[in-house]
Structures are given as C-alpha cells and as structure tokens.
Amino acid sequence: MNRTFNILVLLLIALLFFRCNPIKKAPKYTGASNEVNLYSGDTLFKTVLLDYAFTELDKPPYLLKSIANQENLNFSFDLEGPKLFRFYGYDPQSYPFYIYVTPGDSLSYRLENQMIVFEGRNAAHYNFFKTLFESKLSYAGFDGELGLNAFKQKTKDIYQERLQVLEAYVKKENTSQSFYSSIKEVLRFEYINWLFNRNMIPTGAITDYSTFLEGVTMETFNRNDQADNPYFYLALIKYVYLVSEEKFGEANASEALQYQLQLIDENLQGLTKEYALTKIISDYDAHIRPEDINDLLEVVAAYLPKINDETYKGVLEKIEERLGSFDKQLTEAVNKAVLLGREGRQVTFNEVLESQKGKYKVIDFWASWCVPCIKEIKEGHLFREKITKNKNVEFLYVSIDKDRDKWMARGEELKAYGMLENQYVIVDDEHDILRSFFNVVAVPHYVVLDENNEVLLFNAPTPADTSEFMEVFEEVK
C-alpha cells in the first residue's frame, strides 16, 4: 500500500514538474497544407533572414525579420512546393546554410556554435548542410605546382566524398525522395561550378578545352527544374564563358558576346534561357566602354522580345534606358547629385569634379562594411600614391553607406591609407542617380573620367592590380 502510494506521489510530482517546465518544441502544425512555420527558440537572435537560394538579377530578399523593427523572429508563409532557401542570422552572425523547405513544415530553430539547428517536422531536410559543413570536405584551390589534371582529380574526389555524406545522411535520417534528388543536383552543380571557376586557374593553364570540359555540354543545362539551385546557374554561365574563351580568347569582346548569346539561344529553353541571355548581357554592360554602347543597345533590342519573365525583362529595360541616354557626358541629374564631405558640408558631384579640374579621375565607390573594399584600399595604397604624383590622376572616394557615423569612423581607421582626403558619402535622396548612371551593382566599383569629366570606363580594374589597371589606363589615355 505504501509502495503504491509513493509511486502515485512521484507520478504527481513529475506531472506538476512537466506542467511548470514544459519542453520547448515547435508548435504542432495545424494550418493550411501549404503553410510553413518557423519558430525562434533562441532569444540571442536580433535579426534573421530567410532568403531565396538564388537571388541574382534584382531579386529582393524573401523574408527579413528583425527585433529592431519590433518583430518577433517567427516565420509563417505559404509555399506551393518544396524549395531550397538560405536561412541565417545577421546579429549574431551564423553560417548561411541552405535548407530544403516543404509545405506544411513546422519547426523551431536555435543558434549553436554559429550554426542554426532545427527541430520539428522534416528537421533532417534543414540540418543536412550543417552536417556537410562539419564533414570538413571542402574543395581545394588550384595548385600551380601540381597542375590542371591534379586539380580536376582532386575536385572530383571531393565531390564523390560529399555525395557519400549525402548517401549516408538519407539512410540515417527520415528524408524524402524529393529531398535526396534535389540535394544531389545541388552537389553536382556545386562541383561543376568549382571546377569551372576560371578566376582560380591561371591564364594558359587550360591547353585542351575539350578534355577539360569533358562530360559537360550545353545539353547539361537545358533544363528548367533547377530554379532554386544557385550552383546550376553559376556553373551554366562559367561554362558559356569557357566555351567562348576557347574560340575567342581575351580579344573581340563584341564578337564573343554575339557567340555567347547565340549559343544560349540555340541550345536552351524556358526560364533558363531567359536568365542566361539576361545575365550575359548584364555582365557585358557591367564592363562596357562608351564606344561599345551602341552595339550593346542593338543586342538588347534584338533579345528583349525573347524575354517573358518580368524580372529579367526589367533588367534589360533598365540597361536600355540607361545606355540610350548616354553620350559620354554626365547628365544634369548626375552633376547635381548631392554628396556630403567629411567636414559636414554638402556639395554637388559637379563641384567635386571641378575641384580636380584638368586631371583624370578615378571614382572609387565603396562602403565601410565592405571587406573587399577595405582590402583593396590597403593593398593599392602605394600604387595610388604613385599614380597620383606621376600620372595627373586623382582618386575620389564615394561611399554608399547609410550610416554616416560608421563611414566617418572607418575613414579615420584608414587614414594611414589616404582615406581622409576626397571622401564623400551619397546623400540618401540622390542615392539612385549616381549608382544607376555608373551601373554600380556592387562595391568596390571603379569609374574613370578624363580631364573633361567624360566617362572613359564604367567599370575599371581594381587599382590594387597595378599591371592590369595601368594597361587599361594607358590605353584610354
């Protein structure tokens, strides 16, 4: 009797304990079949971002949540079918892993060693890239001593090992067939993208393009089921450039453009074709010289009717509008754009240029938060000093910062690198005028003007790369 009574007391205490201290789990899914719910179980986060996996060409962030905006960090949204997203924290910062989201999912998330961990419905679909990261199977860079063949083999070996991680994961975890098929394609095109990363491979290292590209053709990319796979699109564009490089090398940029567009037009279909056409034209526009503007306008006019997607069509229309009104001369709106100097005085862009009358000008668009910008400023300091003294050139720094205090503070930190002179920040009201005219889609971005303030280069090489910069600069002079 006493034993029975004691057991009942213990059960009652346990019941009271769990009622007062419930285990925190994601609420059970009760919504519509296409609704997704993500619940923050970690109050450390101040800002998190749920983003499309593929966001290039003017696609905005999908969902952003910030405590600063008086929001909780829970997400609820409708989703028509399984889709790959990125989900990560801004503050504190976490690794930006991909997650495979399925309609009806309901999960909680928390921060653990700079990685977001998920629990709940289909949690295995969300935690795979964390597992892959922890495997430490990262692709290696090109080693000039070992050569191209060794690079290819090593990259292939890593790809096979990463596939094995996926195979073991799906056997151990409760994943769907669609998850397995989707992630397998992500890993495949990630491998191709890394292999075709031309920036890693020195000029001249590829002597036999057919062998190097073996197993990959335009037919590899003639599909429209990879809309959420970023590596698919990256690998596609790299492949087009490699095939074009084999035929044209570094010269005949206009002819190479026509070849690339024809290759895409004749071999791809649907949204993949529309993306590739838009991307190639956009890339050419980003590095265009004034003398090539009319040729590009003809290209845009020829291919714009082939584009049905509103996002891609809008990109080409913006290029057409900007270049159609350009004649090397800065527009009145650009000249009147308002900048703020470090001393707190507002000036027009034209006043800044006139203060350096008779000189060639390099406009350096940068930001205090931009790591590559700061790296270039430090590495190119001595070269900038040299060319300023010997070549009748002046560098003007235009920040796109919204936080002026951070802009001022970063300039002070970089004063040893000449960042207290010719420093300006774009006034918010004029933000789009300068960036739109000079096609500043990312920073750092360099523009070269001549002594008469006519545009010579919309997108110059980095001044830290002294040989390439001087080659182009001497050419335009």
Q: Are residues 359 and 405 in the same domain?
A: yes
* Section 49-77 average pLDDT: 72
Q: Are residues 189 and 304 in the same domain?
A: no
Q: Is residue 8 situated within a structural domain?
A: no
Lowest mean pLDDT among 98-112, 202-216, 460-474: 460-474
Q: Is the pLDDT at 203 greater than 70, yes or no?
A: yes
Mean pLDDT (the chain) is: 84
Residues with Cβ < 8 Å from 20, sequence gap 6 or more? none
Q: Is the pLDDT at 11 greater than 50, yes or no?
A: no
Sequence-ordered alpha helix ranges (H) in 117-229: 123-134, 148-172, 177-195, 209-212
Q: Are residues 154 and 259 in the same domain?
A: no
**CATH assignment at residue 444:** 3.40.30.10
CA 289 remoteness from chain centre: 24
Q: Decide if 82 contacts 175 (C-beta within 8 A).
A: no
Q: Is residue 17 situated within a structural domain?
A: no
Q: Is the pLDDT at 473 greater than 70, yes or no?
A: no
Domain end marker among 195, 224, 248: 248
Q: Decide if 41 contacts 24 (C-beta within 8 A).
A: yes
Q: Are residues 190 and 256 in the same domain?
A: no
pLDDT digits (tens, 9 = 90+) for 79-129: 999 999 988 887 778 888 999 999 999 999 988 888 899 999 899 999 999
Q: Decide if 234 contacts 275 (C-beta within 8 A).
A: no
Q: Is the pLDDT at 8 greater than 90, yes or no?
A: no
Token pair in block for residue 384: 């900038």
Angstrom distance (rounded) from CA 276 to CA 235: 11
Q: Is residue 16 situated within a structural domain?
A: no
Using the CB atoms, write b or e for 428-445: b if 16+ within 10 Å.
eebeebbbebbbbeebbb
Residue 462 burial (CB count, 10 A): 19
Q: Is the pLDDT at 475 greater than 90, yes or no?
A: no
pLDDT for residue 65: 66
- Residue 440: give the domain boundaries: 332-476
pLDDT for residue 9: 38
Q: Decide if 439 contacts 285 (C-beta within 8 A).
A: yes
- pLDDT bin (cut points 50, 70, 90) of residue 10 is very low
Q: Are residues 217 and 128 in the same domain?
A: no
pLDDT for residue 137: 94
Token pair in block for residue 163: 């596939």
Angstrom distance (rounded) from CA 364 to CA 423: 10
Per DSSP, the residues of 225-285 read: S-TT-HHHHHHHHHHHHHHHHHHHTTS-HHHHHHHHHHHHHHH--HHHHHHHHHHHHHHHH
Angstrom distance (rounded) from CA 320 to CA 293: 10
Q: Are residues 306 and 292 in the same domain?
A: yes
Q: Are residues 90 and 127 in the same domain?
A: yes
More confident residue, 475 or 128: 128
Q: Decide if 187 contacts 163 (C-beta within 8 A).
A: yes
pLDDT for residue 220: 97
* Section 291-306 average pLDDT: 91
Q: Are residues 102 and 182 in the same domain?
A: no
pLDDT for residue 31: 45
pLDDT for residue 72: 79
Domain end marker among 327, 351, 383: 327
More confident residue, 185 or 415: 185
* Section 343-352 average pLDDT: 92
Q: Decide if 477 contacts 451 (C-beta within 8 A).
A: no
Q: Is residue 7 situated within a structural domain?
A: no
More confident residue, 234 or 144: 234
Q: Decide if 73 contacts 67 (C-beta within 8 A).
A: yes
Domain end marker among 134, 151, 174: 134
Question: End-to-end CA distance of the chain, in Å?
Answer: 103
pLDDT digits (tens, 9 = 90+) for 220-270: 999 999 999 999 999 999 999 999 998 887 655 778 999 999 999 999 999
Torsion on CA atoms 269, 183, 59, 287, rounded to nearest 10: -70
- pLDDT bin (cut points 50, 70, 90) of residue 357 is confident
- pLDDT bin (cut points 50, 70, 90) of residue 349 is very high
* Section 121-149 average pLDDT: 92
- pLDDT bin (cut points 50, 70, 90) of residue 439 is confident
pLDDT for residue 16: 37
More confident residue, 309 or 329: 309
pLDDT for residue 1: 47
Q: Are residues 192 and 321 in the same domain?
A: no
pLDDT for residue 91: 75
Angstrom distance (rounded) from CA 20 to CA 15: 9
Q: Decide if 260 contacts 234 (C-beta within 8 A).
A: no
Q: Are residues 352 and 434 in the same domain?
A: yes
- pLDDT bin (cut points 50, 70, 90) of residue 172 is very high
Lowest mean pLDDT among 56-65, 134-143, 356-365: 56-65
- Give percent of the chain above pLDDT 70: 85
Domain count, the chain: 4
Dihedral angle sign, alpha carbons of residues 235, 240, 244, 249:
negative
Lowest mean pLDDT among 140-144, 146-150, 417-421, 457-461: 457-461
Q: What is the pTM of this model?
A: 0.73
- Give percent of the chain above pLDDT 90: 43
- pLDDT bin (cut points 50, 70, 90) of residue 307 is very high
- pLDDT bin (cut points 50, 70, 90) of residue 319 is confident
More confident residue, 257 or 331: 257
Q: Is residue 124 situated within a structural domain?
A: yes
Q: Is residue 11 situated within a structural domain?
A: no
Q: Are residues 43 and 83 in the same domain?
A: yes
More confident residue, 338 or 26: 338
More confident residue, 9 or 373: 373
